[in-house]
């Protein structure tokens, strides 16, 4: 069959020929048909893509949900699983006056709720013992050789480094916080010691450590940290929505109405009632409690003093939210601890007795045969006090008289809203408050009297009165028979009467707790574990980490979602991409063919018009043989 050249339809550069059967117009689609074909292809591809992507997304969500449900939690007694990549770690070194201790803490990844705090617990070794190490003496002993500070601290940090996975070191915050021993040093000596630590520690350890992570903290800071630690363990920071008409939360916890400091909220916030802290050591006594409402001051001078005693802080991870904003009163009274108070009392006995003997020409207390009668010692107990000037005592065991003698040592004033030494103390709502008494508050009630726990002033007074009045010989026999606490010693036995009276007066005359107050619990442990102020310190200092982690997890989650989805459906995307490219190429070719056809039609039509008008037939076309 002959072939016809369509030179008027195609450019000369196109070196091909078509069949003598002209390509039917049906094969050259119209624009409407092209759009319809494109839409159908796009719709099919979109449906297919959505189905596949949804399948991948659902699969990823299931895996992610499964992961979060099985996210390891840190328990109180189990050994810490150091192989768990989702655990974070933190270190706090408590540089005290007699020694230094490093505490290793750990917590699981934050759950993403900005209302909740980190779930920080003490790390435990394979024997389920807390990871803690102590060294002696205190760092303040190096005041004259500050260049040895980093060598002194090295064993503690080396111990911690061995317990924390190496790949976690660079993200583990380290805080070195010094307390009373360092506070009494001159500032120049303090700074020299701290500077040596700041310089040398980063050389030997790659913990997350900056200059601000080592400092001498104030007694106020230490008190706030202790308050935070105890209330954290008690679960008082786990807030839920509470009705203003409800006196308790859904889990039975008492609530309190709080006017948040610095908040623009007109309506008061209802949240769990926090516990106050009473702590009497050997040298000092401390009180800390939340002040839920705005306080008023009797004078401008009192207001100025209050600024140094009231701490306002946000424990939450978001500084713009107020659920975890607290106003806490903290006051520390040096010389009001049990041993320091006894020393002040004995010094007073020595000076007063010497003055009276000199005035009256007596010799009371100068020999064992003529002892000074002391109502604060058990009956018939003989004691000897004073170093350069000896004074001999014999106990009369009169608890009530001892209390009266001790009242001047409280240094109370007649000013309103004051406590020991006339220090400002904001009002306590005794009808809706709770306190925990530690150290001497517990030893005084438990070691000998065996009344630790819920405090009852009347029962405590009767028990203390009976103990003081008991003959020393009888008390000694009871001690030898093991009737008292295992850690009670003869020193406790001798001064139990005095300390019982001192604790009673500090609590009821100094801090003005009513004698019918029922919400004081004396304790050595909280939930069977010792609570150190270091727990509160790391909780406070890492409070913004959850928000950072939440933001990081959001970005990481979005990236992970894309990555998981892509890894699941990447073959389908590749197939669809190739499919669309092929279909697009076909459509572009058809469009090109259609444009060429139109151009050719426009060229050929004018020359054929005269033939039609003249009634002539088509011109003879050359035949290619």
Structure-token match 């100068």, residue found: 366
- Measured CA to CA, the distance from residue 576 to residue 549 in angstroms comes to 37
Q: Is 113 exposed, middle or buried (0-12, 13-18, 19+ CB in 10 A)?
A: exposed
Whether the CB-CB separation of 543 and 117 falls below 8 Å is answered with yes
For residue 242, list its beta bridge partners: none
Query: What is the Cβ-side half-sphere exposure of residue 287, based on CA atoms within 13 angstroms?
Result: 23
**Could you tell me the CA-to-CA distances from 621 to 4, 19, 329, 391, 624 in Å, in that order?**
9, 15, 111, 146, 9
3-state DSSP percent of the chain in helix, strand and coil, to 5: 45, 15, 35
40 labelled ligand-binding: no
Q: Return the number of other C-beta atoms located less than 10 Å from residue 529's C-beta.
A: 14
Structure-token match 């008082």, residue found: 236
Q: At what angle do helices 457-469 and 399-406 cross, to 10 degrees?
A: 110
602 labelled ligand-binding: no
Catalytic site residue from 54, 222, 415, 613? 222
286 labelled ligand-binding: yes
- Residues with Cβ within 8 Å of residue 376, at least 6 apart in sequence: 345, 395, 402, 405, 406, 468, 497, 498, 501
- Measured CA to CA, the distance from residue 480 to residue 490 in angstroms comes to 10
The structure tokens listed for 174 are 């380290």
The structure tokens listed for 619 are 């011109």
- Measured CA to CA, the distance from residue 308 to residue 508 in angstroms comes to 24
283 labelled ligand-binding: yes
- Measured CA to CA, the distance from residue 571 to residue 548 in angstroms comes to 35
300 labelled ligand-binding: no
Q: Going edge to edge, which strands form the sheet with 372-374?
A: 372-374, 391-395, 382-385
Whether the CB-CB separation of 124 and 131 falls below 8 Å is answered with yes
- Measured CA to CA, the distance from residue 157 to residue 93 in angstroms comes to 9
User: Is 366 an annotated catalytic residue?
Assistant: no
Whether the CB-CB separation of 286 and 332 falls below 8 Å is answered with yes
- Measured CA to CA, the distance from residue 180 to residue 408 in angstroms comes to 27
| Active centre residues (catalytic) | 222
Q: Give the residue numbers of the binding site.
A: 282-286
Query: Which residues are known binding-site members for ATP?
Result: 282-286
């Amino acid at each position: 069959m002959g072939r016809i050249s369509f030179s008027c339809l195609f450019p000369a550069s196109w070196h091909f020929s078509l069949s003598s059967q002209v390509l039917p117009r049906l094969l050259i689609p119209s624009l409407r048909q092209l759009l319809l074909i494109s839409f159908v292809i796009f719709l099919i591809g979109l449906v297919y893509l959505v189905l596949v992507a949804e399948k991948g997304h659902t699969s990823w969500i299931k895996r992610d949900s499964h992961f979060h449900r099985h996210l390891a939690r840190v328990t109180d007694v189990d050994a810490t699983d150091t192989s768990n990549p989702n655990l974070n770690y933190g270190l706090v070194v408590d540089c005290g006056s007699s020694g230094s201790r490093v505490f290793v803490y750990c917590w699981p990844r934050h759950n993403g709720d900005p209302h909740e705090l980190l779930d920080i617990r003490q790390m435990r070794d394979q024997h389920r013992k807390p990871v803690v190490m102590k060294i002696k003496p205190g760092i303040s002993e190096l005041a004259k050789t500050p260049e040895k500070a980093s060598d002194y601290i090295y064993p503690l940090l080396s111990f911690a480094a061995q317990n924390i996975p190496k790949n976690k070191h660079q993200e583990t915050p380290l805080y070195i916080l010094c307390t009373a021993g360092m506070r009494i040093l001159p500032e120049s000596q303090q700074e020299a010691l701290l500077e040596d630590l700041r310089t040398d520690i980063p050389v030997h350890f790659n913990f997350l450590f900056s200059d601000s992570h080592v400092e001498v903290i104030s007694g106020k800071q230490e008190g706030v940290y202790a308050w935070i630690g105890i209330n954290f363990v008690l679960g008082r920071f786990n807030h839920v929505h509470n009705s203003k008409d409800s006196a308790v939360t859904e889990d039975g916890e008492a609530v309190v109405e709080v006017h948040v400091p610095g908040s623009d909220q007109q309506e008061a916030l209802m949240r769990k009632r926090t516990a106050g802290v009473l702590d009497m050591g050997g040298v000092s006594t401390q009180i800390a409690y939340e002040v839920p409402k705005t306080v008023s001051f009797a004078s401008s001078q009192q207001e100025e003093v209050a600024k140094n005693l009231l701490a306002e802080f946000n424990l939450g991870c978001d500084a713009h939210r107020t659920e975890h904003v607290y106003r806490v009163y903290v006051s520390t009274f040096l010389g009001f601890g049990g041993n320091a108070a006894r020393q002040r009392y004995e010094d007073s006995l020595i000076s007063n007795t010497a003055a009276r003997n000199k005035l009256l020409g007596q010799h009371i207390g100068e020999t064992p045969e003529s002892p000074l009668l002391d109502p604060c010692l058990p009956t018939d107990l003989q004691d000897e006090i004073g170093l350069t000037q000896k004074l001999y005592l014999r106990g009369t065991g009169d608890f009530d008289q001892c209390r009266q003698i001790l009242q001047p040592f409280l240094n109370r004033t007649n000013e309103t809203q004051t406590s020991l030494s006339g220090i400002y103390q904001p009002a306590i709502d005794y009808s809706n408050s709770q306190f925990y008494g530690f150290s001497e508050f517990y030893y005084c009630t438990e070691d000998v009297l065996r009344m630790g726990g819920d405090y009852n002033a009347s029962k405590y007074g009767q028990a203390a009165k009976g103990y003081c009045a008991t003959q020393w010989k009888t008390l000694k026999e009871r001690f030898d028979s093991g009737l008292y606490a295992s850690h009670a010693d003869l020193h406790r036995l001798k001064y139990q009467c005095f300390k019982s009276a001192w604790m009673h007066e500090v609590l009821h005359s100094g801090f003005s707790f009513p004698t019918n107050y029922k919400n004081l619990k004396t304790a050595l442990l909280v939930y069977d574990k010792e609570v150190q102020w270091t727990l509160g310190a790391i909780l406070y200092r890492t409070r913004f980490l959850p928000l950072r982690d939440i933001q990081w997890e959001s970005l990481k989650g979005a990236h992970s979602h894309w990555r998981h989805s892509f890894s699941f459906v990447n073959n389908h995307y590749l197939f669809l991409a190739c499919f669309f490219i092929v279909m697009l190429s076909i459509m572009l070719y058809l469009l090109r063919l259609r444009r060429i056809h139109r151009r050719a039609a426009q060229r050929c039509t004018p020359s054929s018009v005269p033939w039609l008008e003249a009634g002539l037939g088509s011109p003879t076309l050359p035949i290619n043989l």
